[in-house]
Chain A
Amino acid sequence: MRIVGLRKRYREVVAVDGIDLEVAVGELVSLLGPNGAGKSTLMDLIAGVLRADAGEVEVMGHAVARQPMAARAALGVVPQDIALYPDLNARENLLFWGRMYGLRGERLERRTGELLDLVGLAGRQRDRVGTYSGGMKRRLNIAAALLHRPAVLMLDEPTVGIDPQSRRAILDYVQELNATGTTVLYTTHYMEEAAELSDRIAILDRGRVIALGTHRELTAIVGEHDRVTLELGDDAADADAAFVDLPGVHHVSAHDGRLELLASHGARLLPALFARAAERGIAVRSATLRQPDLESVFLHLTGRALRDDRA
């Protein structure tokens, strides 16, 4: 898959602002970015659902703009929001989506059966999807994109809002599919998922790829900077000013009652942090020290935290 100079603007927002990205056959690339970074818009552009203002996308050698049908036939798209017919049952949903990918007859029946087994819904296949739990819908939402064994699979935050067990199962399918040759573009705002799954990670912010590489390459950007998180409760809002001038602190950002600091030699900084907090009358409920991770990379590159929610 090749993306060159891709741009898309909605009235006042530039959602995708000149993205270049190549994904090799069989590779698993994660798109990591906060809310509104442009991840879903990028996926829509790749699938040809949206028309780009500029730039080009090629999927398995087919230019999306000129040969949309061939490009889509090679793609499997798992949308961010559940996109299933709630008044049809799981089986009817899969049969329908399979037909839309040109499957029919015995092959369609067989693939439908296989995928119902894979996502553990064979027992509930005759129940209307509207009666399913969120996790069951999510799994079916994924299955619907796999019927035609796509060469390239795109998943848009497929694990949002489900229990850890279902989440584990989904990550396992994705890894399994990738292991058997499927190229995967995996969108998430969970850095742990990106770190675990990906060959390479593209960090997206405000419509741009601000960093691209393996997990190791990306964390190396931050170098020896550790990440310190202080839980402050209600005081957090103006507390960042209290710590910026401490020696060794590179970035401070406050959100949701937490303070995120990027610092060289975080362990050595802790006593100074607590001293400063006591001095200013700021109550610290807890403090966490982490080795460099993708969160730190994002903080380092943008000065902001990756997640503004911890769903």
Chain B
Amino acid sequence: MAQLTFREAIARGIAQEMRRDESVVFLGEDIGAAGGVFKGTVGLLEEFGGVRVRDTPISEQAILGAAMGAAMTGLKPIAEIMFADFFAVCWDIVVNEIAKSRYMTNGQMTFPLVIRSGNGGGLRFGAQHSQSVENWAMMVPGLKVVVPSTPEDVIGLMAASIRDPDPVIFLEAKALYSTKTEVPDGEIVDSLGTAKVLRSGSNATLVALGAMVPKAMKAAEELAGQGIDCTVVDVRSLVPLDTQTLLREISATGRLFTIEENPRLCGWGGELSSIVSEEIFYDLDGPIVRITTPHIPLPAADALEDMAIPSVERIVSTVNKSMNS
């Protein structure tokens, strides 16, 4: 066991897989000598050298195009898009090229690649460096979407994503980069499409993702003090989605609260609500409630950003109000 930060876990996860598989290569802006703008890739250039860890120009289309071309010809690239907002300048490569090409070619091509990116707010960077884009990625057929919430999950899900034969969008909550927890030594390999029940309660189920997971846990603690006993589920993987675990845990309490950092419209909680309504409607004891960032660009000022992104207080008060109405 060692204490590890979320950002150190990224480098450890990548290194674990690069040691194991020679065909894993890594490219992106400032990832090599600089160790990443969030210091998430420190030490990789030193260990694996400049042929496998390559700094690129500021050319997001070239980065992802290169990853795609390399993946279709036998490599397993990891590409970094520094801030998830920047997906907008290379979204064609993600959505039209990487996501569609296996289907269009009738399975002639396979794209074992991972695109990792710093996602979401909390760092007061303003609207163009703070958006949570998990809902952009989730709506695209052909992409897997993974969002870890702990250092241990970063390593295990990174390994699972790299070993997966399909394209994976791996979103790292920037707000979590400095969190530190105990992580077991040795190889850690998790599996995609598995949600995790972090806490079991009997009154309500809070379903959260990424940076919202620790907030949901804190809120659950406070709610317990107010007599509301909550289950907390960390979704971890939007595609594939572990609906079995989610539906089971939602049925068990009869109440669903989604806690989402993405702006409200077409957030992942909307899809989950629809699945729940169609499949376990009669198990519900009250309305589904979505707690999300409002449908606005994120403001920069700390006071304003804190109002926008779901907070522990907002979760507690929303759940409390809904449970007592």
Asked if A pairs with B, the answer is: no
Interface residues of B (CB under 8 A from A): none
